Amino acid sequence: MKKLELTAREIAEITGGEIKGDPERIITSVAGVHDATAEQLSFVGHKRYEKQLETTKAGIVLVCGDLANAPCDTRTLIVCGNVDLAFSIVLERFAEEPPKWNVGVHPSAVVSPEAKLGAGVSINANAVIEAGAVIGDGTVIGAGCYIGHDVKIGAKCLLYPNVTVMYRCVIGNLAVIHPGVVVGGDGFGFIPGERGLVKVPQTGIVVIGDDVEIGANTTIDRARFGCTRIGDNVKIDNQVMIAHNVEIGASSILVAQCGIAGSARLGRGVILAAKAGVNGHITLGDGVKVAGTSGVVKSVPAGQIAMGTPAETQREYMQRYTLPSRFDKLAAKVKALTAELEALKAASEK
């Protein structure tokens, strides 16, 4: 981190927060609640982490409104409307800059004379750019990247090292793509033939909108025909698998290790939590949320939450989840009934 001193007063100013306690308290860096020392700032963004606020040694703590009345004698609190955002603002003051990428083509890169490079691009060591590829202004192609024939990449993109983009795929502006990502591998399609499984040609491409981020080692397959389509502002974590002809609506969030089978359609603002799976040929409406590890096997209307495998509504899921305790109660009731019946029988036989 950068060497820097900030007072609670200064931090309240840049974050728009309200000070509780000593406004002259000074911190020299930031840290998590568990690790922070008296010279550091930390944050507690939710009432459920109240205990962490009691035990942290941080000198200044950014807190949410629910925690505004916590003790502020041994430390200074700054109450913020959006703790996450406020912490990011402070963090950026201390954070070192990421490395700069040199403008120009590194001599070890292999760039086809038939590729078209925009102004101010940075093509790094051992990158390979095939004929017909078009790279937009200011875009960085990391070391060891492979950009296939006729690929189109927009402006101001950052492709980290060792990314692979196969032929004819299209990427919009402002993309951030992490190492090991593969865009445009073949979709998975085979049909039984006389001598075994026969490949179904995958003749389409992948089209990625603007302002998309793709995490390390994620794979997005080319369409059987037409496009696999990733909307604008979609954010994809690591090791996500997106099959052929899938469509993802704008501003959707796909958390790590989730997978979407062929021709599934996700609306805008859909959230798939980690390890969720979505069957092929189904539709998830706008704003659908899928819980982690869930397997969605049928379409889900807009705005709903899907949980479990096969995924159900939250209500159905809770009924299934609480079954053991409900069963125990029913079993006790049956036991009592049995005893009563025995007593009645005994009485009637007298």
Quick note: the x/- pattern for a second copy over 211-240, rule CB under 8 A, is x-x-xxx-x-x--xxx-----xx-x-xxx-
Smallest separation (angstroms) from a second copy to the CB of 73: 27
Q: Which is nearer to a second copy, 9 or 235 (by Cβ)?
A: 235
Smallest separation (angstroms) from a second copy to the CB of 188: 4
Quick note: the x/- pattern for a second copy over 258-277, rule CB under 8 A, is -x-x-x----------xx-x
Q: Of the candidates 31, 121, 207, 306, which one interacts with a second copy according to CB under 8 A?
A: 31
Q: How many residues does the chain have?
A: 350
Q: Which is nearer to a second copy, 23 or 101 (by Cβ)?
A: 101
Residues 133 to 162 in contact with a second copy, rule: CB under 8 A = 142-144, 146, 148-150, 160-162
Residue with tokens 């760039």: 111
Residues 42 to 81 in contact with a second copy, rule: CB under 8 A = none
Residue with tokens 């798939």: 272
Contact 314, 307 (CB under 8 A): yes
Q: Of the candidates 3, 24, 55, 98, which one interacts with a second copy according to CB under 8 A?
A: 98
Q: Does 324 bind a second copy (CB under 8 A)?
A: yes
* Site residue total, a second copy (CB under 8 A): 112
Q: Which is nearer to a second copy, 79 or 271 (by Cβ)?
A: 271
- Which three-class secondary structure state does DSSP give residue 101? coil
Contact 276, 258 (CB under 8 A): yes
Those residues with Cβ within 8 angstroms of residue 130's Cβ, 6 or more apart along the chain or in another chain? 112, 115, 147, 148, 149, 150, 151, 167
Question: Which active-site residues does the annotation give?
Answer: 244
Those residues with Cβ within 8 angstroms of residue 232's Cβ, 6 or more apart along the chain or in another chain? 172, 209, 210, 211, 212, 250, 251
Neighbours of 197 (CB within 10 A): 10
Q: Which amino acid belongs to residue 252?
A: S
Q: Does 108 bind a second copy (CB under 8 A)?
A: yes
Q: How far apart are CA 54 and CA 139, in angstroms?
A: 46
Q: Does 82 bind a second copy (CB under 8 A)?
A: yes
Smallest separation (angstroms) from a second copy to the CB of 114: 12
